[in-house]
């Protein structure tokens, strides 16, 4: 699935690399938010995100009966 950012509000541009990241498809609004946090808060938020990723993977594994990232491991 592709998500278009066409029509999304244009934020500030901090330089050529910032614009290159936008062109690459990177969500720079997330970067702006993360840069408002302390390093510890960023790592804590990362732990939460990783927990969500693992929960979703486990849900997929239960649904398919195997890890869909590694279909060869089907039981």
Partner 1 sequence: MGSTLDILGRLSDQQVEFVIVDGLAGTAHGSGMVTEDLDVCAPMTRENIVRLLAAIADLNPRWWMNPNRPPVPLDPSKLEGYENLYILCDWGQVDLLSEITGIGDFEQVSRRSVTLDIAGRPCRVLAPDGLIDAKRAMGRPRDIQAATELEAIRDHLRQA
In terms of phi and psi (left: phi > 0; alpha: psi -120 to 50; beta: otherwise), the region of 62 is alpha
Which of 47, 55, 64, 74 binds partner 1 (CB under 8 A)? It is: 47
What does residue 11 show for φ and ψ, rounded to 5 degrees? -85, -175
Rg (alpha carbons) of the chain, rounded to whole number: 17
Residue 43 in the binding site for partner 1 (CB under 8 A): yes
Which of 1, 40, 62, 65 binds partner 1 (CB under 8 A)? It is: 40
Interacting residues toward partner 1 by CB under 8 A: 14-18, 20-22, 24, 26-28, 30-32, 34-35, 38-40, 42-44, 46-47, 49-50, 53
């Amino acid at each position: 699935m592709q998500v278009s950012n066409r029509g999304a509000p244009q934020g500030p541009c901090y330089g050529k690399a910032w614009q290159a990241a936008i062109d690459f498809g990177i969500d720079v609004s997330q970067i702006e938010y993360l840069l408002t946090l302390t390093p510890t808060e960023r790592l804590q938020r990362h732990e939460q995100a990783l927990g969500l990723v693992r929960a979703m993977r486990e849900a997929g594994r239960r649904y398919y009966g195997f890890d869909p990232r590694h279909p060869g491991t089907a039981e």
